[in-house]
């Protein structure tokens, strides 16, 4: 049982919402829940497949998850998005972020990364789609963007019923500005204009969904997620139709408490 108790918990549709007093405790709570689910799955299966988000919002969760004794050599790791065309060694690359945060720290069975410099982006989408679709994905640990995006499914390109597993998209201006706000780039002109992303049906097709969203900059997105009509105009609203868990701190929950 998770020792980190929320100060408030409620349902929004099927979505469980848990609010914690600060960002650190929130991260510890997510890690506890995810670790317990991983260990539970590995008692009945010899292999676990998991998708990770790469963003500063995940820092506390990922750091805490690394402290758990999990059979990492039975875990296949994936990530959910990557910039198109960014240098392979760029620190802003999402694969590189996850290598620093968890992939390079634990003995995963496999680490499966999207290649940002693939000469044929469409072929790269098909290659990564084939990896994702080899077997069901057990866990997706994700966040929500300032514009309500899930992975890089921004409102202009989000599709709740699209046929693809992975696609390339043009990033909208609020999404690119968020990368500056997060400290990943110094100016929006440095932020790539296109990205690879797992689609919303792919993300929500995972068996267990853990959504970590701390910080004041996410307060409006959280409010819209829980109160706006379910539509691609705010992609994260679709979470209310799924048995996911949304973890907040009092900053990100400031407009709903």
pLDDT of 143-162, one tens digit each?
Answer: 999 999 999 999 999 999 99
User: Which residue's structure tokens are 């989000």?
Assistant: 158
The values of phi and psi at residue 240, to 5°, are -65, -15
Q: Is the pLDDT of residue 206 over 90?
A: yes
Rounded mean pLDDT of 213-233?
Answer: 98
- DSSP, res 205: T
Question: What are the boundaries of each domain within the chain?
Answer: 11-249
235 close to 155: Cβ distance less than 8 angstroms? yes
Percent residues over pLDDT 70 in the chain: 99
According to CATH, the topology of domain 11-249 is Rossmann fold (3.40.50)
- pLDDT for the residue 1: 52
Residue 228: closest CA among 217, 240, 246, 216 = 240
Radius of gyration of the chain from Cα atoms?
17
**Strand 110-112 relative to strand 194-198: parallel, antiparallel, unpaired?**
unpaired
- pLDDT for the residue 3: 83
Rounded mean pLDDT of 12-41?
Answer: 98
pLDDT of 74-119, one tens digit each?
Answer: 999 999 999 999 999 999 999 999 999 999 999 999 999 999 999 9
Task: Determine whether 158 is exposed, middle or buried from the number of CB atoms within 10 Å of its CB (0-12, 13-18, 19+).
Answer: buried
How far are the Cα atoms of 179, 184, 190, 199, 208 from residue 28, in angstroms, in the given order? 24, 24, 33, 28, 18
Q: Is the pLDDT of residue 51 over 90?
A: yes
- pLDDT for the residue 182: 87
Q: Which two tokens stand for residue 87?
A: 């240098």
For 36, the enclosing helix (H) or strand (E) is helix 23-42
- pLDDT for the residue 37: 98
- pLDDT for the residue 125: 98
């Amino acid at each position: 049982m998770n020792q980190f108790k929320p100060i408030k918990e409620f349902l929004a549709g099927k979505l469980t919402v848990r609010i914690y007093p600060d960002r650190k405790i929130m991260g510890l709570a997510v890690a506890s829940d995810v670790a317990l689910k991983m260990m539970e799955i590995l008692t009945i299966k010899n292999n676990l497949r998991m998708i990770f988000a790469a963003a500063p919002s995940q820092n506390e969760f990922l750091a805490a998850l690394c402290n758990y004794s999990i059979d990492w050599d039975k875990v296949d790791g994936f990530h959910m998005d990557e910039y198109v065309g960014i240098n392979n060694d760029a620190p802003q690359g999402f694969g590189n972020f996850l290598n620093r945060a968890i992939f390079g720290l634990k003995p995963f069975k496999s680490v499966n990364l999207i290649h940002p410099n693939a000469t044929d982006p469409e072929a790269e989408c098909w290659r990564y789609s084939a990896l994702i679709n080899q077997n069901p994905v057990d866990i997706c640990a994700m966040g929500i963007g300032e514009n309500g995006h899930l992975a890089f499914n921004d409102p202009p390109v989000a599709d709740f019923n699209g046929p693809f597993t992975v696609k390339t998209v043009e990033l909208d201006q609020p999404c690119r500005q968020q990368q500056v706000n997060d400290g990943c780039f110094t100016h929006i002109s440095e932020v790539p204009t296109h990205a690879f992303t797992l689609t919303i049906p792919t993300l929500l097709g995972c068996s267990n969904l853990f959504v970590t969203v701390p910080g004041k900059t996410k307060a409006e997105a959280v409010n819209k997620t829980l109160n706006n009509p379910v539509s691609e105009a705010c992609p994260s609203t679709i979470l209310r139709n799924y048995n996911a868990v949304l973890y907040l701190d009092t900053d990100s929950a400031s407009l709903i408490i």
